[in-house]
Structure 1
Amino acid sequence: MGGSGVWKLRTFAKALMAFTVTSVSLVASASDHQVISVTVNAPGSFPYLYFDRTRQTYEGLVPDFLTHVSEQAGYSIVYLDASQFRSEENIVSGRADLYLANPEWLQNPSRFIASSPLIAHPTYLYSTQPFGTGFTADRLSGVTICAHRNYVYTGLESGFEEGRLTRVDSPDHTSMAHMLARGRCDFAVYNPYNAMDAFYQKSLCHLDVFQSPVPTSVVELPFVMRADAVALKALIDRHIEGFAVSGELEASLAHHLTGRDFPKRGKCE
């Protein structure tokens, strides 16, 4: 082959290589923008994001919202099971994009940015006896409260630290409910959705359960993401607003909370 032929072959090879690299970059770029991965503190938290064992899939407000994003913007959604600590690491390392949490609950909040709030997150006390008129948690002293191990309870932490309240930790929300039923604590602390999930189990159908008249705290739940995920934050913020204005947010909660409320009266069928 002459010099001219060799030069043409080398030129073609370089062009092919450049095209291949460009194509791979475009595919990778498209993939990055088409998939949103969500890290979950398995098995999740009702009704925000919980695992449906019958359907073997995640259900709840978050999947409903992300279905809205998928339909409106063409993204695919994947879920990654993790623990609370691993969920933070998954975001920082880039293994996941989103995590539903209040930034104050994170170990290193400065490493994240947060979307607009998806929903307000109240926390209440629960008892097997009615609450008195004018009840407030800040007047409590010398009582025990069943709590979820490693959880931070904004409205109760000072009481725990001062020794006015005694915290009795459990590994999960179900065991907290059973401890309250057995009289192992005076109160249990939940957001109302986890309380519904725990106390409406068949094994506790006989139990009367009352919710405190005012919450111990109310915090906002946004999606947190890597500090440099500015474009993703803009996308999520835009769709959170649309999800709320369209009435889909309210409809999603109503769907997942059907037939559950407080006070819960003991009745087994």
Structure 2
Amino acid sequence: MQKYFTKIWLIGSLIFCGTLYANQNANQTKGPTKLIFAINDPGSPPYLYFDKVNKGYRGIIADFFNSFTEDNTLDVRYLDSSRARNEYLVLNGKADFFLSSPAWLDNPDNILLSDELLLHRSFFYSISPFSQPFSLTTLPKNLICTRRGYIYPSLSQLFKDKKLIRVDSSSQITITNMLIKGRCDYAVMNEYNANSVLNLKQFCGINFYQSPNSIHDAPLTFVINKQSRDIIPTLNDQWRIFQNSGQLEDSIRVHGGTSDLDSQKNCS
């Protein structure tokens, strides 16, 4: 009888050790969470944009993904798309998440949101000084250079009523070129885009002016497929680390450009 129980104990011990080893091995071999992030190609600085020199995406969001530790990492694959299509891809499970604002979504009740990441503030930009005080109602029938596929909540009704004329373009650089050539009276961009684009060397020597007040403020968040809800706590926690450690501020400085629009006056 004693030999019988000894045998049973040995078998049980082997099973326990085998299970423990299998679990440890599974944890060791478990790779990073694989996710698909949809991008409104070719992106938009400073958030996420394609670097033609390095043949890859750079920006604040790329820096954030790279800030994860080895113990808590994400394997993010970028999917080139458009702002209009991004929401469709996430809703239908073709992508896990993308960057946007609740104000720009067609179906906000059918998807999930992370915590607020950044405040997206849009301004008008011109090659002539703005009048004081500045108001949208004082710009009858003016041509406004805009990004194709973008929604501008504060301007939508004015565009619809033809009080302002929307002139779409494919990128912020094209928008700026159109503004310089007089194809529109004003360009609308968020402050980070403007700081990055208007200070490019190709626009050196040109004076740009920002409207005295923003025309629209919108919080940016990650917009997430409901099936990918498990990543929300990880994204929120890591963003707080990214922000509190000063990495976010550094990333904005690198990808957002200078905020001094007068810098174009001194060309080297």
Q: Scaled by the length of structure 1, what TM-score is found?
A: 0.81
3-state SS of paired residue (1:233): helix
* Unaligned 5+ runs, structure 2: 1-18
Q: Deviations over 1:153-175 (max 9, x none)?
A: 12212222232212222232222
User: Aligned pairs, how many?
Assistant: 245
Indicate whether 1:131 and 2:151 are aligned: no
- 8 Å CA contact 1:129, 1:210 repeated in 2: yes
Query: In the TM superposition, what is the alpha-carbon distance from 1:198 to its structure 2 partner?
Result: 3.3
Tell me the equivalent position of 1:60: 59
One-letter identity of the residue aligned with 2:62? P
Q: Deviations over 1:49-82 (max 9, x none)?
A: 1111111121111011111234561332322222
The separation in 1 between residues aligned to 2:205 and 2:159, in whole angstroms, is: 31
Q: Deviations over 1:136-185 (max 9, x none)?
A: 33443232211122211122122222322122222322221111111121
The separation in 1 between residues aligned to 2:126 and 2:256, in whole angstroms, is: 20
- 8 Å CA contact 2:199, 2:264 repeated in 1: no
One-letter identity of the residue aligned with 1:109? P
Query: In the TM superposition, what is the alpha-carbon distance from 1:229 to its structure 2 partner?
Result: 2.7
Q: Percent identity at matched positions? A: 33
The separation in 2 between residues aligned to 1:170 and 1:66, in whole angstroms, is: 29
Tell me the equivalent position of 1:16: none
Tell me the equivalent position of 1:97: 96
The separation in 1 between residues aligned to 2:85 and 2:141, in whole angstroms, is: 35
Structure-2 change in CA distance of 1:144 and 1:72 (3 Å): farther
- 8 Å CA contact 1:46, 1:197 repeated in 2: yes
Q: Deviations over 1:65-111 (max 9, x none)?
A: 11123456133232222222442233234343220111332333232
3-state SS of paired residue (2:205): coil
Query: In the TM superposition, what is the alpha-carbon distance from 1:259 to its structure 2 partner?
Result: 4.0
Tell me the equivalent position of 1:241: 240
Query: In the TM superposition, what is the alpha-carbon distance from 1:119 to its structure 2 partner?
Result: 0.5
One-letter identity of the residue aligned with 2:221? P
One-letter identity of the residue aligned with 2:252? L
The separation in 1 between residues aligned to 2:80 and 2:257, in whole angstroms, is: 26
One-letter identity of the residue aligned with 2:56? T
More displaced stretch, 79-88 vs 188-197: 79-88
The separation in 2 between residues aligned to 1:162 and 1:92, in whole angstroms, is: 31
- 8 Å CA contact 2:47, 2:60 repeated in 1: yes
Tell me the equivalent position of 1:211: 210
Indicate whether 1:51 and 2:44 are aligned: no
The separation in 2 between residues aligned to 1:263 and 1:117, in whole angstroms, is: 31
Alignment of 1:25-44 (within 5 A): 30=30, 34-44=33-43
Tell me the equivalent position of 2:195: 196
3-state SS of paired residue (2:46): coil
Structure-2 change in CA distance of 1:186 and 1:264 (3 Å): farther
Q: Scaled by the length of structure 2, what TM-score is found?
A: 0.81
The separation in 1 between residues aligned to 2:102 and 2:174, in whole angstroms, is: 27
The separation in 2 between residues aligned to 1:255 and 1:198, in whole angstroms, is: 13
Q: Deviations over 1:218-257 (max 9, x none)?
A: 1011001112433211211122222222222112101223
One-letter identity of the residue aligned with 2:126? S
RMSD: 2.6
Tell me the equivalent position of 1:7: none
One-letter identity of the residue aligned with 1:165? L
